Amino acid sequence: MAAAEGSGAGGAAKPLFAGLSDVSISEDIPVEGEITVPVGSRSPDEDYSTLDEPVRDTIMRDLKAVGKKFVHVMYPKKSSALLRDWDLWGPLVLCVSLALMLQGGSADSKEDGGPQFAEVFVIIWFGAVVITLNSKLLGGTISFFQSLCVLGYCVLPLTVAMLVCRLVLLAGSGTVSFIVRLIVVMAMFAWSTLASTAFLADSQPPNRKALVIYPIFLFYFVISWMILTFTAQ
């Protein structure tokens, strides 16, 4: 380039870049490459174009995903379905049903003493958010919504326990029913904690695992306490 400029400046008669046409690439150096712009694979577009499918397919697909996650919670194995394809439908359904079942039935009594719907809702969601923030602040590698998803889905055993407790309370509210309820709630509490630990423990730094698991334990303990102390009016 400098030579061309120099020759251009020195010999004003010569046009610029005159010698450039003499430059040629020898033919034994292979020149390769693609000039065409690679088009993004069209298959995701074709698969996820959900505008044309019937509504039933859309709903069934989401319901099946939620159902599959329920199964994964009840039989916790190291599967990535819960983590990878997170969704918050399951936790919402579980939270609302648990909060509804925890209603004493006498909403007009001020001295009812049991948790109101809003209190249960806030405790579950706010508790899950705080635990997620805690695990992220301690250096966890899991994402925010994945952790919310796991914690929400692992409320499923406790919802089952609530259902069983309500049925047992229909039969009677003596000491025997209390012992049955206690055993059921304790078993489901252990199941919830172990299930969520199985999913979340791997993403934590190894020397801080106990620091992350303790708040989860506390969270499910408080929910179990609310279930156990439920008294029907």
Partner 1 sequence: MAAVDDLKFQEFDDAANLLAVNPDATTISVDEPSENPKTQHGLLQDTGREEDDELLGTDDSDKTELLAGQKKSAPFWTFEYYQTFFDVDTYQVLDRIKGSVFPVPGKNFVRLYIRSNPDLYGPFWICATLVFAIAISGNLSNFFIHLGKPTFHYVPEFRKVSIAATTIYAYAWLVPLALWGFLMWRNSKVMNIVSYSFLEIVCVYGYSLFIYIPTAILWIIPQKAVRWVLVMFALCLSGSVLVMTFWPAVRDDNRRIALATIATIVLLHALLAVGCLAYFFDAPELDVLTTTASAQNGTALVTKTQ
Question: Shortest distance, CB of residue 127 to partner 1, whole angstroms?
Answer: 9
Which one of 16-24, 63-71, 156-164, 207-215 is the stretch in contact with partner 1 (CB under 8 A)? 207-215
Candidates 18, 176, 218, 232: give the one binding partner 1 (CB under 8 A): 218
Chain residues 99-128 in contact with partner 1, contact rule CB under 8 A: 111-116, 119
Question: Based on CB atoms, which residue is closest to partner 1, 6 or 139?
Answer: 139
Instruction: Judge contact between 60 and 37, C-beta under 8 A.
Output: no
Question: Based on CB atoms, which residue is closest to partner 1, 90 or 127?
Answer: 127
**Is 210 a residue that touches partner 1 (CB under 8 A)?**
yes
Question: Based on CB atoms, which residue is closest to partner 1, 59 or 218?
Answer: 218
Note the residues at the interface with partner 1 (CB under 8 A): 111-116, 119, 134, 136-139, 207-211, 214-215, 218, 221-222, 225-226, 229-231
